[in-house]
Structure 1
Amino acid sequence: MRKLNEMMDRPVIDKAVRDYLRTKQRQLTGPLGAIENEANKKRVPVIPHETVRFLEWFLPLYKPVNILEIGTAIGFSAGLMAQFLPDEGQITTIERNPTMIEKAEKNFKKMKNSNKISLIKGQAEEVLQELDESYDFIFMDSAKAKYYDFFPHCMRVLKVGGVIAIDDVLQGGTILQETENIPRSRKKIHKKLNQFLEVVLNHPALNATILPLGDGLLMITKEEDADFSFMLKKRTDQHDDPKA
Protein backbone atom coordinates (compact mmCIF):
# COMPACT_ATOMS: atom_id res chain seq x y z
CA MET A 1 0.00 0.00 0.00
CA ARG A 2 1.44 3.35 -0.98
CA LYS A 3 2.03 5.88 1.78
CA LEU A 4 -0.49 8.62 2.30
CA ASN A 5 0.44 11.93 0.75
CA GLU A 6 1.17 14.52 3.44
CA MET A 7 0.31 17.25 0.92
CA MET A 8 -3.37 16.28 1.27
CA ASP A 9 -3.33 18.44 4.39
CA ARG A 10 -1.56 21.45 2.83
CA PRO A 11 -4.10 23.37 0.72
CA VAL A 12 -2.66 25.78 -1.81
CA ILE A 13 -5.70 28.05 -1.47
CA ASP A 14 -7.64 29.24 1.56
CA LYS A 15 -8.90 26.15 3.43
CA ALA A 16 -12.44 27.47 3.74
CA VAL A 17 -12.59 28.09 0.00
CA ARG A 18 -11.18 24.65 -0.70
CA ASP A 19 -13.76 23.01 1.56
CA TYR A 20 -16.52 24.97 -0.16
CA LEU A 21 -15.36 23.73 -3.56
CA ARG A 22 -15.36 20.16 -2.30
CA THR A 23 -18.73 20.18 -0.56
CA LYS A 24 -20.97 22.65 -2.40
CA GLN A 25 -20.35 21.57 -5.97
CA ARG A 26 -22.34 18.72 -7.52
CA GLN A 27 -21.46 15.39 -5.93
CA LEU A 28 -20.91 12.07 -7.67
CA THR A 29 -23.48 9.29 -7.44
CA GLY A 30 -23.47 5.57 -8.19
CA PRO A 31 -20.30 3.42 -8.13
CA LEU A 32 -17.96 6.39 -8.66
CA GLY A 33 -19.55 8.31 -5.79
CA ALA A 34 -19.15 5.29 -3.52
CA ILE A 35 -15.51 4.86 -4.52
CA GLU A 36 -14.79 8.55 -3.93
CA ASN A 37 -16.49 8.53 -0.52
CA GLU A 38 -14.63 5.41 0.60
CA ALA A 39 -11.30 6.82 -0.59
CA ASN A 40 -11.89 10.05 1.31
CA LYS A 41 -12.85 8.20 4.50
CA LYS A 42 -9.76 5.99 4.30
CA ARG A 43 -7.56 8.90 3.16
CA VAL A 44 -6.57 7.15 -0.04
CA PRO A 45 -5.06 9.86 -2.29
CA VAL A 46 -7.43 10.19 -5.25
CA ILE A 47 -8.03 13.40 -7.19
CA PRO A 48 -9.96 15.86 -5.00
CA HIS A 49 -13.52 16.83 -5.78
CA GLU A 50 -12.66 20.24 -7.22
CA THR A 51 -10.51 18.44 -9.81
CA VAL A 52 -13.31 15.95 -10.41
CA ARG A 53 -15.67 18.82 -11.22
CA PHE A 54 -13.09 20.45 -13.49
CA LEU A 55 -12.66 17.24 -15.50
CA GLU A 56 -16.44 16.79 -15.67
CA TRP A 57 -16.59 20.29 -17.19
CA PHE A 58 -13.49 20.06 -19.40
CA LEU A 59 -13.74 16.62 -21.01
CA PRO A 60 -17.20 17.07 -22.63
CA LEU A 61 -15.87 20.27 -24.23
CA TYR A 62 -12.57 18.79 -25.35
CA LYS A 63 -14.06 15.44 -26.49
CA PRO A 64 -10.96 13.19 -26.40
CA VAL A 65 -11.16 9.75 -28.02
CA ASN A 66 -7.92 8.16 -26.79
CA ILE A 67 -6.74 8.90 -23.25
CA LEU A 68 -3.52 7.83 -21.54
CA GLU A 69 -3.35 7.85 -17.74
CA ILE A 70 -0.09 7.46 -15.84
CA GLY A 71 -0.89 6.34 -12.30
CA THR A 72 -4.07 4.27 -12.05
CA ALA A 73 -4.15 4.07 -8.23
CA ILE A 74 -7.56 2.58 -7.28
CA GLY A 75 -9.05 3.31 -10.71
CA PHE A 76 -11.18 6.27 -9.67
CA SER A 77 -9.94 8.86 -12.17
CA ALA A 78 -9.93 6.36 -15.06
CA GLY A 79 -13.54 5.50 -14.30
CA LEU A 80 -14.42 9.17 -14.12
CA MET A 81 -12.82 10.01 -17.47
CA ALA A 82 -14.27 6.96 -19.21
CA GLN A 83 -17.76 8.43 -18.76
CA PHE A 84 -16.96 11.11 -21.33
CA LEU A 85 -15.55 8.90 -24.08
CA PRO A 86 -17.46 8.17 -27.28
CA ASP A 87 -18.39 4.57 -28.09
CA GLU A 88 -15.06 4.02 -29.86
CA GLY A 89 -13.05 5.77 -27.11
CA GLN A 90 -10.46 4.06 -24.94
CA ILE A 91 -8.39 4.80 -21.82
CA THR A 92 -5.00 3.17 -21.36
CA THR A 93 -3.88 3.44 -17.73
CA ILE A 94 -0.53 2.41 -16.22
CA GLU A 95 0.13 1.24 -12.65
CA ARG A 96 3.06 -0.52 -10.99
CA ASN A 97 1.77 -1.07 -7.44
CA PRO A 98 0.26 -4.59 -7.02
CA THR A 99 -2.08 -3.46 -4.21
CA MET A 100 -3.38 -0.57 -6.29
CA ILE A 101 -3.78 -2.83 -9.33
CA GLU A 102 -5.91 -5.27 -7.31
CA LYS A 103 -8.12 -2.45 -6.00
CA ALA A 104 -8.43 -0.87 -9.45
CA GLU A 105 -9.48 -4.13 -11.08
CA LYS A 106 -12.17 -4.62 -8.43
CA ASN A 107 -13.42 -1.06 -8.92
CA PHE A 108 -13.48 -1.39 -12.70
CA LYS A 109 -15.84 -4.35 -12.34
CA LYS A 110 -18.30 -2.06 -10.54
CA MET A 111 -18.37 0.41 -13.45
CA LYS A 112 -20.55 0.15 -16.53
CA ASN A 113 -17.82 1.61 -18.73
CA SER A 114 -14.97 -0.72 -17.76
CA ASN A 115 -14.83 -2.05 -21.35
CA LYS A 116 -13.29 1.31 -22.28
CA ILE A 117 -10.42 0.94 -19.79
CA SER A 118 -7.21 -1.02 -20.46
CA LEU A 119 -4.87 -1.43 -17.49
CA ILE A 120 -1.17 -1.97 -18.20
CA LYS A 121 0.79 -3.35 -15.25
CA GLY A 122 4.40 -2.21 -14.98
CA GLN A 123 6.88 0.59 -14.48
CA ALA A 124 5.58 3.67 -16.27
CA GLU A 125 8.92 4.68 -17.76
CA GLU A 126 9.35 1.25 -19.35
CA VAL A 127 5.76 1.07 -20.59
CA LEU A 128 5.88 4.60 -22.03
CA GLN A 129 8.92 3.76 -24.12
CA GLU A 130 7.02 0.90 -25.77
CA LEU A 131 3.78 2.72 -26.56
CA ASP A 132 3.11 3.29 -30.25
CA GLU A 133 -0.43 4.72 -30.03
CA SER A 134 -1.20 8.42 -30.17
CA TYR A 135 -3.40 10.16 -27.60
CA ASP A 136 -5.64 13.21 -27.47
CA PHE A 137 -5.41 13.62 -23.70
CA ILE A 138 -2.92 12.44 -21.08
CA PHE A 139 -3.54 12.55 -17.34
CA MET A 140 -0.41 12.11 -15.22
CA ASP A 141 -0.75 11.55 -11.48
CA SER A 142 2.21 9.40 -10.52
CA ALA A 143 5.66 9.71 -8.94
CA LYS A 144 6.28 13.45 -8.78
CA ALA A 145 10.05 13.06 -9.02
CA LYS A 146 9.49 11.22 -12.32
CA TYR A 147 7.41 13.84 -14.10
CA TYR A 148 10.57 15.26 -15.66
CA ASP A 149 11.63 11.84 -16.97
CA PHE A 150 8.17 10.77 -18.16
CA PHE A 151 7.44 14.00 -20.03
CA PRO A 152 9.51 13.38 -23.21
CA HIS A 153 7.74 10.05 -23.70
CA CYS A 154 4.37 11.73 -23.19
CA MET A 155 5.20 14.37 -25.78
CA ARG A 156 6.12 11.64 -28.27
CA VAL A 157 2.69 9.98 -28.06
CA LEU A 158 0.58 13.12 -27.55
CA LYS A 159 -1.00 14.46 -30.74
CA VAL A 160 -0.28 18.01 -31.85
CA GLY A 161 -3.15 20.00 -30.36
CA GLY A 162 -3.46 17.43 -27.58
CA VAL A 163 -3.59 18.25 -23.89
CA ILE A 164 -1.73 16.80 -20.92
CA ALA A 165 -2.94 17.41 -17.37
CA ILE A 166 -0.36 16.87 -14.62
CA ASP A 167 -1.54 16.70 -11.02
CA ASP A 168 0.04 17.82 -7.73
CA VAL A 169 2.74 20.13 -9.07
CA LEU A 170 2.72 22.68 -6.23
CA GLN A 171 3.49 20.34 -3.33
CA GLY A 172 1.42 22.29 -0.84
CA GLY A 173 3.21 25.47 -1.91
CA THR A 174 6.62 24.11 -0.87
CA ILE A 175 7.69 24.25 -4.51
CA LEU A 176 8.47 27.94 -3.82
CA GLN A 177 10.87 27.26 -0.96
CA GLU A 178 14.64 27.11 -1.18
CA THR A 179 16.04 23.60 -1.50
CA GLU A 180 17.94 23.86 1.80
CA ASN A 181 14.63 24.35 3.63
CA ILE A 182 13.10 21.15 2.23
CA PRO A 183 13.27 17.94 4.32
CA ARG A 184 15.85 15.51 3.01
CA SER A 185 13.20 12.90 2.16
CA ARG A 186 11.54 15.33 -0.29
CA LYS A 187 14.56 17.10 -1.76
CA LYS A 188 14.55 15.03 -4.95
CA ILE A 189 10.87 15.70 -5.61
CA HIS A 190 11.42 19.42 -4.97
CA LYS A 191 14.43 19.57 -7.29
CA LYS A 192 12.92 17.56 -10.14
CA LEU A 193 9.56 19.36 -10.05
CA ASN A 194 11.29 22.73 -10.22
CA GLN A 195 13.42 21.52 -13.14
CA PHE A 196 10.29 20.24 -14.84
CA LEU A 197 8.32 23.47 -14.40
CA GLU A 198 11.26 25.53 -15.58
CA VAL A 199 11.19 23.62 -18.89
CA VAL A 200 7.47 23.43 -19.60
CA LEU A 201 6.05 26.76 -18.41
CA ASN A 202 7.86 28.81 -21.06
CA HIS A 203 8.65 26.31 -23.83
CA PRO A 204 7.74 27.75 -27.27
CA ALA A 205 6.07 24.51 -28.42
CA LEU A 206 3.77 24.40 -25.40
CA ASN A 207 0.95 26.48 -23.97
CA ALA A 208 0.87 25.85 -20.21
CA THR A 209 -1.03 27.09 -17.18
CA ILE A 210 -1.27 26.00 -13.55
CA LEU A 211 -4.73 25.86 -11.98
CA PRO A 212 -5.03 26.07 -8.16
CA LEU A 213 -7.07 22.86 -7.99
CA GLY A 214 -6.09 20.27 -5.39
CA ASP A 215 -2.33 20.53 -5.04
CA GLY A 216 -1.93 22.30 -8.36
CA LEU A 217 -3.11 21.02 -11.76
CA LEU A 218 -0.78 21.82 -14.67
CA MET A 219 -2.54 21.97 -18.04
CA ILE A 220 -0.40 21.89 -21.19
CA THR A 221 -1.37 22.02 -24.86
CA LYS A 222 1.14 20.61 -27.33
CA GLU A 223 1.04 23.27 -30.03
CA GLU A 224 3.74 21.78 -32.24
CA ASP A 225 6.17 18.88 -32.31
CA ALA A 226 9.40 19.46 -30.41
CA ASP A 227 12.37 17.41 -29.27
CA PHE A 228 12.36 16.89 -25.50
CA SER A 229 14.95 14.11 -25.50
CA PHE A 230 17.39 16.39 -23.63
CA MET A 231 15.26 15.74 -20.54
CA LEU A 232 16.09 12.03 -20.67
CA LYS A 233 19.78 12.73 -20.08
CA LYS A 234 19.32 14.19 -16.62
CA ARG A 235 19.35 11.71 -13.76
CA THR A 236 19.73 12.20 -10.03
CA ASP A 237 19.67 9.65 -7.21
CA GLN A 238 17.47 6.54 -7.17
CA HIS A 239 15.25 7.60 -4.26
CA ASP A 240 11.70 7.86 -5.62
CA ASP A 241 8.40 9.36 -4.65
CA PRO A 242 6.28 6.65 -2.95
CA LYS A 243 3.26 7.58 -5.08
CA ALA A 244 3.48 5.61 -8.32
Structure 2
Amino acid sequence: MIKELFTLSNITLPFVEEYIRGILPSNEGLFREMELYADENHVPIVHKEVGVLLQVITKSTRAKKVLEVGTAIAYSTLLFCEAMGDNGHITTIERNAKRICLARENIKKANKTNNVHLLEGDATEILKSLEGKYDLIFLDGAKGHYKDFLNDCINLLNPGGLLISDNILYKGMVATDDLVVRRQRTIVNRMREYLQYICNHSQLDTSIIPIGDGLAISYKK
Protein backbone atom coordinates (compact mmCIF):
# COMPACT_ATOMS: atom_id res chain seq x y z
CA MET A 1 0.00 0.00 0.00
CA ILE A 2 1.36 3.39 -1.02
CA LYS A 3 1.94 5.76 1.86
CA GLU A 4 -0.43 8.75 2.00
CA LEU A 5 1.17 11.53 -0.02
CA PHE A 6 -0.15 14.52 1.87
CA THR A 7 1.72 15.41 5.03
CA LEU A 8 -0.28 16.14 8.14
CA SER A 9 -0.65 19.76 9.20
CA ASN A 10 -1.24 21.48 12.52
CA ILE A 11 -4.72 22.62 11.48
CA THR A 12 -6.82 19.73 12.79
CA LEU A 13 -6.16 16.69 14.94
CA PRO A 14 -3.99 14.12 13.13
CA PHE A 15 -6.48 11.27 13.51
CA VAL A 16 -9.23 13.44 12.01
CA GLU A 17 -7.08 14.30 8.98
CA GLU A 18 -6.07 10.67 8.54
CA TYR A 19 -9.68 9.54 8.70
CA ILE A 20 -10.89 12.14 6.16
CA ARG A 21 -8.06 11.45 3.74
CA GLY A 22 -8.54 7.72 4.12
CA ILE A 23 -12.27 7.75 3.40
CA LEU A 24 -12.05 9.93 0.30
CA PRO A 25 -11.59 7.96 -2.95
CA SER A 26 -8.02 7.81 -4.27
CA ASN A 27 -7.20 9.45 -7.59
CA GLU A 28 -6.01 7.43 -10.54
CA GLY A 29 -4.29 8.11 -13.85
CA LEU A 30 -2.75 11.53 -14.43
CA PHE A 31 -3.86 12.96 -11.08
CA ARG A 32 -2.14 10.09 -9.29
CA GLU A 33 1.00 10.63 -11.37
CA MET A 34 1.03 14.30 -10.38
CA GLU A 35 0.54 13.43 -6.72
CA LEU A 36 3.50 11.06 -6.80
CA TYR A 37 5.67 13.60 -8.60
CA ALA A 38 4.72 16.34 -6.12
CA ASP A 39 5.52 14.09 -3.17
CA GLU A 40 8.88 12.96 -4.56
CA ASN A 41 9.97 16.44 -5.67
CA HIS A 42 8.50 18.51 -2.80
CA VAL A 43 6.16 20.45 -5.06
CA PRO A 44 3.24 21.99 -3.14
CA ILE A 45 -0.19 20.94 -4.41
CA VAL A 46 -3.57 21.24 -2.73
CA HIS A 47 -4.34 18.72 -0.02
CA LYS A 48 -6.61 15.84 -0.94
CA GLU A 49 -9.61 17.10 1.03
CA VAL A 50 -9.12 20.64 -0.29
CA GLY A 51 -9.10 19.41 -3.87
CA VAL A 52 -12.41 17.65 -3.34
CA LEU A 53 -13.91 20.77 -1.75
CA LEU A 54 -12.74 22.94 -4.65
CA GLN A 55 -14.49 20.63 -7.08
CA VAL A 56 -17.70 20.57 -5.04
CA ILE A 57 -17.71 24.38 -4.86
CA THR A 58 -17.02 24.70 -8.59
CA LYS A 59 -19.84 22.33 -9.48
CA SER A 60 -22.34 23.77 -7.01
CA THR A 61 -21.74 27.37 -8.14
CA ARG A 62 -21.68 26.28 -11.80
CA ALA A 63 -18.53 28.31 -12.32
CA LYS A 64 -17.34 28.30 -15.93
CA LYS A 65 -14.61 30.91 -15.81
CA VAL A 66 -11.85 30.51 -13.20
CA LEU A 67 -8.69 32.48 -12.46
CA GLU A 68 -5.86 30.78 -10.59
CA VAL A 69 -2.78 32.43 -9.10
CA GLY A 70 -0.13 29.72 -8.73
CA THR A 71 -0.22 26.92 -11.30
CA ALA A 72 2.71 24.80 -10.07
CA ILE A 73 2.37 21.55 -12.07
CA ALA A 74 -1.32 22.21 -12.96
CA TYR A 75 -2.77 19.83 -10.38
CA SER A 76 -5.48 22.17 -9.07
CA THR A 77 -5.78 23.66 -12.57
CA LEU A 78 -6.94 20.31 -13.90
CA LEU A 79 -9.17 19.69 -10.87
CA PHE A 80 -11.03 22.87 -11.81
CA CYS A 81 -11.16 21.78 -15.47
CA GLU A 82 -12.66 18.44 -14.51
CA ALA A 83 -15.26 20.11 -12.29
CA MET A 84 -16.24 22.73 -14.89
CA GLY A 85 -16.59 20.30 -17.77
CA ASP A 86 -15.84 20.87 -21.44
CA ASN A 87 -17.37 24.36 -21.50
CA GLY A 88 -15.22 25.68 -18.64
CA HIS A 89 -12.09 27.79 -18.98
CA ILE A 90 -9.31 28.61 -16.52
CA THR A 91 -6.65 31.29 -16.71
CA THR A 92 -3.70 30.35 -14.51
CA ILE A 93 -0.51 32.23 -13.60
CA GLU A 94 2.93 30.81 -12.80
CA ARG A 95 6.43 32.31 -12.71
CA ASN A 96 8.60 29.22 -12.10
CA ALA A 97 10.01 28.15 -15.48
CA LYS A 98 10.51 24.48 -14.58
CA ARG A 99 6.99 24.14 -13.22
CA ILE A 100 5.57 25.91 -16.25
CA CYS A 101 7.08 23.23 -18.52
CA LEU A 102 5.65 20.45 -16.36
CA ALA A 103 2.28 22.19 -16.18
CA ARG A 104 2.09 22.44 -19.96
CA GLU A 105 2.93 18.75 -20.29
CA ASN A 106 0.22 17.77 -17.81
CA ILE A 107 -2.36 20.01 -19.45
CA LYS A 108 -1.56 18.42 -22.80
CA LYS A 109 -1.78 14.89 -21.33
CA ALA A 110 -5.21 15.77 -19.95
CA ASN A 111 -6.36 17.08 -23.37
CA LYS A 112 -7.24 20.43 -21.80
CA THR A 113 -5.11 22.80 -23.89
CA ASN A 114 -8.26 24.49 -25.21
CA ASN A 115 -9.59 24.99 -21.68
CA VAL A 116 -6.47 26.40 -20.05
CA HIS A 117 -4.69 29.70 -20.64
CA LEU A 118 -1.33 29.55 -18.85
CA LEU A 119 0.31 32.94 -18.30
CA GLU A 120 4.00 33.11 -17.45
CA GLY A 121 5.34 35.79 -15.12
CA ASP A 122 4.73 37.78 -11.94
CA ALA A 123 1.09 37.67 -10.83
CA THR A 124 1.31 41.20 -9.40
CA GLU A 125 1.89 42.55 -12.91
CA ILE A 126 -0.26 40.08 -14.85
CA LEU A 127 -3.36 40.61 -12.72
CA LYS A 128 -3.36 44.32 -13.61
CA SER A 129 -3.37 43.49 -17.33
CA LEU A 130 -6.29 41.04 -17.30
CA GLU A 131 -9.69 41.99 -18.65
CA GLY A 132 -13.11 40.47 -18.18
CA LYS A 133 -14.65 38.90 -15.10
CA TYR A 134 -14.33 35.54 -13.39
CA ASP A 135 -16.81 33.38 -11.48
CA LEU A 136 -14.16 32.02 -9.12
CA ILE A 137 -10.61 33.08 -8.25
CA PHE A 138 -8.20 30.72 -6.51
CA LEU A 139 -5.21 32.24 -4.70
CA ASP A 140 -2.42 29.71 -4.25
CA GLY A 141 0.69 31.70 -5.17
CA ALA A 142 3.32 33.46 -3.08
CA LYS A 143 1.90 33.35 0.46
CA GLY A 144 3.37 36.67 1.54
CA HIS A 145 1.76 38.55 -1.35
CA TYR A 146 -1.92 37.67 -1.06
CA LYS A 147 -2.83 41.19 0.04
CA ASP A 148 -0.90 42.62 -2.93
CA PHE A 149 -3.12 40.57 -5.24
CA LEU A 150 -6.40 41.33 -3.48
CA ASN A 151 -7.67 44.57 -5.04
CA ASP A 152 -7.06 43.30 -8.57
CA CYS A 153 -8.76 40.01 -7.71
CA ILE A 154 -11.82 41.77 -6.34
CA ASN A 155 -12.04 43.90 -9.48
CA LEU A 156 -11.78 40.78 -11.67
CA LEU A 157 -14.41 38.84 -9.72
CA ASN A 158 -18.07 38.81 -10.73
CA PRO A 159 -20.56 40.00 -8.09
CA GLY A 160 -21.69 36.80 -6.36
CA GLY A 161 -18.38 35.17 -7.26
CA LEU A 162 -15.97 33.47 -4.87
CA LEU A 163 -12.37 34.25 -3.94
CA ILE A 164 -10.74 31.17 -2.41
CA SER A 165 -7.39 31.60 -0.63
CA ASP A 166 -5.34 28.49 0.17
CA ASN A 167 -2.75 27.86 2.93
CA ILE A 168 -4.36 30.60 4.95
CA LEU A 169 -3.39 29.13 8.34
CA TYR A 170 0.09 28.18 7.11
CA LYS A 171 0.84 25.00 9.06
CA GLY A 172 -0.98 26.45 12.08
CA MET A 173 1.58 29.23 12.52
CA VAL A 174 -0.94 31.95 11.67
CA ALA A 175 -3.11 30.86 14.61
CA THR A 176 -0.42 30.75 17.29
CA ASP A 177 3.09 32.08 17.87
CA ASP A 178 3.95 28.79 19.55
CA LEU A 179 4.36 27.19 16.11
CA VAL A 180 6.06 30.05 14.28
CA VAL A 181 9.42 29.24 12.71
CA ARG A 182 11.69 32.27 12.80
CA ARG A 183 12.40 32.35 9.07
CA GLN A 184 8.65 32.25 8.36
CA ARG A 185 7.77 35.17 10.62
CA THR A 186 7.32 37.68 7.77
CA ILE A 187 4.98 35.39 5.84
CA VAL A 188 2.97 34.66 9.00
CA ASN A 189 2.58 38.35 9.80
CA ARG A 190 1.51 39.15 6.24
CA MET A 191 -1.00 36.30 6.24
CA ARG A 192 -2.49 37.50 9.52
CA GLU A 193 -2.81 40.97 8.04
CA TYR A 194 -4.46 39.54 4.92
CA LEU A 195 -6.97 37.54 6.96
CA GLN A 196 -7.82 40.55 9.09
CA TYR A 197 -8.35 42.56 5.91
CA ILE A 198 -10.60 40.13 4.02
CA CYS A 199 -12.66 39.33 7.12
CA ASN A 200 -13.51 43.03 7.50
CA HIS A 201 -13.63 44.07 3.84
CA SER A 202 -16.80 45.94 2.86
CA GLN A 203 -17.14 44.01 -0.41
CA LEU A 204 -16.57 40.53 0.99
CA ASP A 205 -18.22 37.99 3.25
CA THR A 206 -15.47 35.61 4.39
CA SER A 207 -15.41 32.23 6.08
CA ILE A 208 -12.21 30.57 7.31
CA ILE A 209 -12.22 26.78 7.14
CA PRO A 210 -9.68 24.66 9.08
CA ILE A 211 -9.15 22.14 6.29
CA GLY A 212 -5.86 21.16 4.65
CA ASP A 213 -3.53 24.05 5.38
CA GLY A 214 -6.44 26.41 5.99
CA LEU A 215 -8.84 27.81 3.42
CA ALA A 216 -10.60 31.19 3.25
CA ILE A 217 -13.71 31.46 1.11
CA SER A 218 -14.82 35.01 0.34
CA TYR A 219 -18.09 35.93 -1.38
CA LYS A 220 -18.16 39.18 -3.36
CA LYS A 221 -21.30 41.08 -2.46
TM-score clears 0.5: yes
Change (3 A) 1:87 1:106: closer
Q: CA deviation at 1:44?
A: 2.2
Q: Aligned partners of 1:107 and 1:88: how far apart in 2?
A: 19
Q: CA deviation at 1:11?
A: 2.9
Q: Which residue of 2 aligns with 1:159?
A: 158
SS in 1 for 2:117: strand
Q: Aligned partners of 2:177 and 2:35: how far apart in 1?
A: 35
Are 2:85 and 1:94 aligned?
Answer: no
Q: Aligned partners of 1:177 and 1:33: how far apart in 2?
A: 34
Q: CA deviation at 1:134?
A: 0.8
Relative to the length of structure 1, the TM-score reads 0.83
Q: CA deviation at 1:43?
A: 3.5
Q: Gaps spanning 5+ residues in structure 2: where?
A: 1-5
- Would the aligned equivalents of 2:9 and 2:212 in 1 still touch at CA under 8 Å? no
- Would the aligned equivalents of 1:11 and 1:18 in 2 still touch at CA under 8 Å? no
Question: 1:219 is matched by which residue type in structure 2?
Answer: I
Relative to the length of structure 2, the TM-score reads 0.91
Q: Gaps spanning 5+ residues in structure 1: where?
A: 1-6, 224-244
Q: CA deviation at 1:108?
A: 1.0
Q: CA deviation at 1:30?
A: 2.4
Q: Which residue of 1 aligns with 2:219?
A: 221
Percentage identity across paired residues of the two chains: 32
Question: 2:216 is matched by which residue type in structure 1?
Answer: L
SS in 1 for 2:26: coil
Q: CA deviation at 1:36?
A: 2.0
Structural mapping, 1:66-215, within 5 Å: 66-178=65-177, 182-215=180-213
Change (3 A) 1:146 1:8: farther
- Would the aligned equivalents of 2:8 and 2:14 in 1 still touch at CA under 8 Å? no
Q: Which residue of 1 aligns with 2:3?
A: none
Displaced runs of 4+ in structure 1, greater than 6 A? none
Q: CA deviation at 1:114?
A: 3.0
Q: CA deviation at 1:178?
A: 4.4
SS in 2 for 1:83: helix
SS in 1 for 2:83: coil
Q: CA deviation at 1:57?
A: 1.9
Q: CA deviation at 1:97?
A: 0.5
Q: Aligned partners of 1:183 and 1:36: how far apart in 2?
A: 27
Please report the RMSD computed on the Cα atoms of aligned residues, expressed in angstroms.
Answer: 1.9
Q: How many residues align?
A: 216
